[in-house]
Structure 1
Amino acid sequence: MTEPGKGQDGAGRTDERDHPHAGHSHDAGHDPEGHDHAGQDHAGHAHSGHSHSGDGHAGHAHAMPTSLRAFAVGASLNFGFVIVEAAFGFFAGSLALVADAGHNLSDVLGLLLAWGAAWLARRAPTERRTYGYGRSSILAALANAMLLLLGTGGIMWEAVTRLGDPEPVKTGIVMAVALVGIGVNVGTALLFMADRKRDLNVRGAFVHMVADAAVSLGVVVAAAVMALTGWLWLDPVVSLMIALAIVAGTWGLLRDSVNLAMDMVPAHIDRAEVEAYLAALAGVSAVHDLHIWALSTTEVALTAHLVRPGAGLDDAFLAEAAAGLKARFGIGHPAIQVEAGTVACALAPADVV
């Protein structure tokens, strides 16, 4: 897999990303070892055109589109607010405020995980980590989801306990702190607004911050109602609502991150459409061993065997296929093996996706 924008590693070796070669082909005598991403043995296949296209676009890089500075500023703002909100929550006797502080702490952890993953994703591939560290962003999303769910369980337990014995709440302090929280969350969301449409992790951070602002608004409204009515039970009820909102939002994150970690086809890609595109390429009579998976939350890889009887080596064909996969589906790491179709391929059941 090749990509531009990388130099040499620490040992002085030239990083292969400096030489983008979308459509690069190897002759039939090329040893296929190390290129069978699907894990099958195709010893009898002619490697008449094995494309290892990175991106083909000179500006592509493994970095997340949002700068590391945005994650740093966002994490710092939220961490500072967590300390303030938790302190005032305990002082005011508001479980809702403490629950929101716990939620914001999970945001800090999530931002730190995304920050670390973004930094790791910038590191060049090595001889043993040939895809680099892009998958760290998937692991970060998975860890973030698990932390959110664990923290939410504690909030729900405490809220249920307090329902039977609600405690007085200093509503004025609660409203003031929650209003500050709205400002912090909205400000953090703005840091990710520009790149939210180009990166799944950034969009997740943006939506999370906007949701947090809505949760803080709910705390303000609850405190105002308690001040007017004296309904102390509203505090634990709002805490439960916050916890349920966290679970609802986190469940999708957990599901998606597990799916990506298990090499499932990314949700935004239609495998049937990709197969149809490859099958419609000039001279292709069959497509098999098609696998599509995520290298990170922003990068997608593909391996496929294309049968082109009598076509021979064709670098232009490979370049066209790679460019089309990138432009139409956002697949920047295709590895295409072209076969003449003269040897029957006995597919094991696991080969057919």
Structure 2
Amino acid sequence: MAHNHIHIHKHEVKANNLVFSILLNLLITIAQIVGGIVSGSLALISDALHNFSDVISLVFSLVAHKLSRRKASINNTFGYKRAELIAAFINASTLVIVAFVLIYGAIERFFNPHPIQSGLVIWLAILGIVVNGLSVIFLKKDAEHNLNMKSAYLHLLTDMMASVAVLVGGLLMKFYHWFWMDSVMTILIAIYLIVVGIDLLKSSTKMLMLFTPDHIDIKEIVREVHKIPGVGKLHHIHVWHLNEEELHLEAHLDCSEDIKMTEFNDLLHNLEVVLFDKFGINHINIQPEFKKEDPKEFIVQD
């Protein structure tokens, strides 16, 4: 079975950005918990709990990032490249879980509102916006290239939005005494968490389950490969993400002629170029065949 891959330039994710974000979020979490207890604001405490879940998620993302950079070995032939996908899945799950906990608390508080020290809420919300805003800026570029970093980035982005919501609620409570806004803002924060959390959960689950990526059309791959001289039929095809940097394809290639191995190497090179240029597949594993009797379906479920 011929095995080949194309080396591509990889965006280097900076772990230092994660470390800095962890320290900032730990600081704001402590401040918001103390402030929420003193002021009596559920929205502030819920924002603090969300921040604390972010600290845990960021630490988990950092550990996964470190693991993913470990070298492969005989016992771990792929290394720990999928560690970041697991981190993204867990982080997405915590987003959804935290959201439902917040909704439960907000509904209970909505029917039993009480006066809140809005001044403290406002200042701590501003602090939350500044701290989370800085963290979002640090991780934005990494989030565009890495699902694990995207999960951490979304945690921080929703934190920043939550702090904005808490600030708006604090201002309304200060000037209009609408103390029920504390619960409303909490629910709005939670709904957004559910939306972004489920989307990230779906993406990470598809990668962990080795589903064909959404942007890949296997029939289109077959059409393009069949245009290459010397190709009989490409079949038994599987396409999946090992991680976000490596898109793999394995398949059987029925050659149109009984060619030499040196000729097959040239055919394999042409196949590799087409798959990379048109579909972004940078790692292929091909089993060559000539008039072998077996099913020639595009995909075979064993």
TM (norm. structure 1) is 0.78
> Residues of 1 paired with 2:60 and 2:277: CA distance?
30
Contact 1:200 1:298 in 2 (8 A): no
Q: Which residue of 2 aligns with 1:53?
A: 4
Give unpaired runs (5+ residues) of structure 2: none
Which of residues 338, 346, 351 in structure 1 aligns to 2:295? 346
Q: Which residue of 1 aligns with 2:242?
A: 295
Q: Cα distance, 1:167 vs. partner?
A: 1.8
SS in 2 for 1:115: helix
State the AA in 2 paired with 1:77: L
Matched, 1:271 2:218: yes
> Residues of 2 paired with 1:166 and 1:289: CA distance?
62
Matched, 1:337 2:293: no
Q: Which residue of 2 aligns with 1:312?
A: 260
> Residues of 1 paired with 2:227 and 2:29: CA distance?
55
Contact 2:237 2:298 in 1 (8 A): no
Deviations 1:133-164 (A, max 9, x none): 11111111111122222222222211111111
Q: Cα distance, 1:72 vs. partner?
A: 1.4
Deviations 1:35-56 (A, max 9, x none): xxxxxxxxxxxxxxx3322333
Contact 2:68 2:81 in 1 (8 A): yes
| Count of aligned positions | 299
Which of residues 127, 130, 133 in structure 2 aligns to 1:180? 127
Q: Cα distance, 1:204 vs. partner?
A: 4.1
Q: Cα distance, 1:235 vs. partner?
A: 0.5
Contact 1:111 1:205 in 2 (8 A): yes
SS in 1 for 2:272: helix
Which of residues 161, 167, 171 in structure 2 aligns to 1:224? 171
Deviations 1:283-338 (A, max 9, x none): 21211111011212332221011211214322233233224433433322211122
State the AA in 1 paired with 2:294: C
Q: Cα distance, 1:197 vs. partner?
A: 3.1
> Residues of 1 paired with 2:201 and 2:267: CA distance?
39
Q: Which residue of 2 aligns with 1:213?
A: 160
CA 1:226 to 1:210, structure 2 compared with 1: closer, same or farther past 3 Å?
Answer: same
Q: Cα distance, 1:233 vs. partner?
A: 0.7
CA 1:272 to 1:187, structure 2 compared with 1: closer, same or farther past 3 Å?
Answer: farther
Contact 1:263 1:294 in 2 (8 A): yes
Q: Cα distance, 1:207 vs. partner?
A: 4.2
Give unpaired runs (5+ residues) of structure 1: 1-49
Please tell me the root mean square deviation across aligned C-alpha atoms, in Å.
Answer: 2.3
> Residues of 1 paired with 2:57 and 2:244: CA distance?
14
Q: Which residue of 2 aligns with 1:81?
A: 28
TM (norm. structure 2) is 0.90
Contact 2:139 2:149 in 1 (8 A): yes
> Residues of 2 paired with 1:304 and 1:216: CA distance?
50
Within 5 Å, which residues of 2 pair with 1:127-206? 127-206=74-153
> Residues of 2 paired with 1:225 and 1:251: CA distance?
31
Residue range with higher mean Cα deviation, 187-196 or 301-310:
187-196
Contact 2:87 2:148 in 1 (8 A): no
SS in 2 for 1:351: coil
Identity %: 29
CA 1:128 to 1:275, structure 2 compared with 1: closer, same or farther past 3 Å?
Answer: farther
